[in-house]
Structure formats: structure tokens, C-alpha cells
Amino acid sequence: MIAVEFGSGSADFTLALAKKAYQGRVYALDIEEQKLSALKSKLNLQKLNNIATVCCDLETPGGSTLKSNSCNIVVIPNFLFQTENKHAILKEVYRILLPDSQCLVIDWLKQNPLHPKEHLLDPDEVKNLAQATGFSLKEEFAAGDYHYGLLFIKK
């Protein structure tokens, strides 16, 4: 299994995926080298050796540097709202996923007191972008009090 976290930041999902997919490979992708360096320190402490960090610009074509049709799951937690070219992000996810593989988007709900005030997407906007990219919606769910979750399948 090959799993990827886009915009890994603190890498909470990367670490969780690495513990579940201990025989697989997990990629933590972020544009900020400082965040990836902090993750490398965590990896040494937790003795996890199935994680690779990649400093990259996910808004450029091929930006993840991963091979096309090579990954089983991509997680995008609290990241889309921070990007300028959301469609480019989803195109890159689509490119690297194997057919019938999954993309999980978790992001802030607009109607909560804790969210960042700018650039938030409501679930329908994300669904429209994902469907325009070629994804099919598999499931929509609440991801806590302040987030929504959308699970897409690459067809």
C-alpha cells in the first residue's frame, strides 16, 4: 500500500497512516521544508521508517514527483483552503492514484467559530471540483464539530 498526505504540515495523518500501513510506504508532501524537517525528527523518535518526506509544489503539474498511477490513497486534510489552484491539486491527486483508489478530503466547515476566515470551500464546491477532475463521490460525512469529510474514488 502506498499512501500520501498532501500538505502534510504537522503530519498527523502521515503518522497515523504509517502505523497502519507498516509494510507499505507513506509520503508526506509539503512546500515548507521546515515542517518536513520537524517530521523527520518525530520519525526518529517514533522509530518509523516507512515514511518519505518530499518538499514540493503541489500546484504545479507533476509537482508531487510521484509516479502516475502509483498510489492507493491520498489524504488532503485542511489544505485545499490554503491553495490558490485547487483544481491543480486535485488533478495531481488524480494523476498519482491507481484506478479505483481513494482520495479523502477533510476541511473546515464555514459555519464554525474556529476556522480561518478566508478561502474556505464548502463541501459542494469541493465535490464539483473533484467531479470535474474525474472523481466520483463515495461518501460524505461529518469529521468532528468543525470539519467535513469527502471520500472520492478515481474511476
Work out the angle at residue 70's Cα, subtended by the Cα atoms of residues 55 and 7, and round it to the nearest 5 degrees.
30
Work out whether strand 97-108 and strand 71-77 pair parallel, antiparallel, or are unpaired: parallel
Helix ranges, 111-154 (H) = 123-133
pLDDT classification of 110: cutoffs 50, 70, 90: confident
Decide if 6 contacts 76 (C-beta within 8 A). Answer: yes
CA–CA distance, 154 with 97 (Å, rounded to integer): 7
The total number of structural domains that make up the chain: 1
Block residue for cell numbers 464555514: 110
CATH number of the domain where residue 67 is located = 3.40.50.150
User: What value does the mean pLDDT take over residues 17-29?
Assistant: 91
Supply the range of the domain harboring residue 58.
Answer: 2-154
Q: What is the pTM of this model?
A: 0.93
Instruction: State the amino acid at position 112 in one-letter form.
Output: N
User: What value does the mean pLDDT take over residues 109-136?
Assistant: 87
pLDDT at 116 over 70: no
pLDDT at 140 over 80: yes
